[in-house]
Amino acid sequence: MRLEILQGDITTRDVDAIVNAANSSLMGGGGVDGAIHRAAGPELLAACREVRKEYPGGLPVGRAVATPGFNLPSRWVIHTVGPNRHAGQTDPGLLASCFRESLAVAESLGARSVAFPAISAGIYGWDAREVATVAFDVVRNFGADGSPALELVEFVLFSPEMTTVFRDVSGA
């Protein structure tokens, strides 16, 4: 599995699936969540409403579900709810679950390539270095059984500062 770290807009990535750092309602929000909903078009919100019927209390932290990508270059959007450090969700296991579950969903869809944002960094208060460390650990261990269906995992980061942190942590 190839790992790449890029600065840019995740909504423009030509990969099989992009991961959305969603809120539990799946109804869109700010940051990457809002950008993905705007770029995908109103059909994404309708699809999220359908998924939401399975999770009337909201998608739990650390879980992941997929919808079509609609107007995005990616075929699918994988929505995951990261832990909110400001709300007392400080367990790195919850953060790791976001990455692990998203990779498992991507694999179940038959995706060969997936792009991640820095889940829970930013408004949810997690330190970028900790997010990167957890993310790389999960991704590197995901294909450890020797049968990874995923060929490419991208980390697409909006700011130069976040990109630098991810590159430093990865050793790239």
Task: Give yes or no for a contact between 126 and 21, defined as CB atoms under 8 angstroms apart.
Answer: no
Catalytic residue numbers, as ranges: 33
Q: Confidence class of residue 170 from pLDDT cuts 50, 70 and 90?
A: very high
With vertex at residue 128, the alpha carbon angle to CA 125 and CA 129, rounded to the nearest 5 degrees, is: 130
CATH of 2-170, one of 3.40.220.10, 3.40.50.300, 3.20.130.10, 3.40.190.10: 3.40.220.10
Tell me the H-state helices in 14-86: 31-40, 42-52
Cα-based torsion angle of the residue sequence 2, 5, 9, 11 in order, rounded to the nearest 10 degrees: 20
Q: Look at residue 56 and tell me whether its pLDDT is greater than 80.
A: yes
Q: Look at residue 145 and tell me whether its pLDDT is greater than 90.
A: no
Give the pLDDT of residue 148: 66
* Region 3-31 average pLDDT: 96
Task: Give yes or no for a contact between 99 and 63, defined as CB atoms under 8 angstroms apart.
Answer: no
pLDDT digit string (tens) for 122-135? 899 999 999 999 99
* Average pLDDT for the chain: 95
β-bridge mates for residue 78, sequence order:
19, 66
Domain map (residue ranges) of the chain: 2-170
pTM recorded for the entire structure: 0.96
Q: Look at residue 147 and tell me whether its pLDDT is greater than 70.
A: no
pLDDT digit string (tens) for 88-116? 999 999 999 999 999 999 999 999 999 99
* Region 42-50 average pLDDT: 97
- In Å, how far are 1, 32, 94, 116, 143 from 7, measured between CA atoms? 20, 13, 25, 12, 24
Give the pLDDT of residue 143: 74
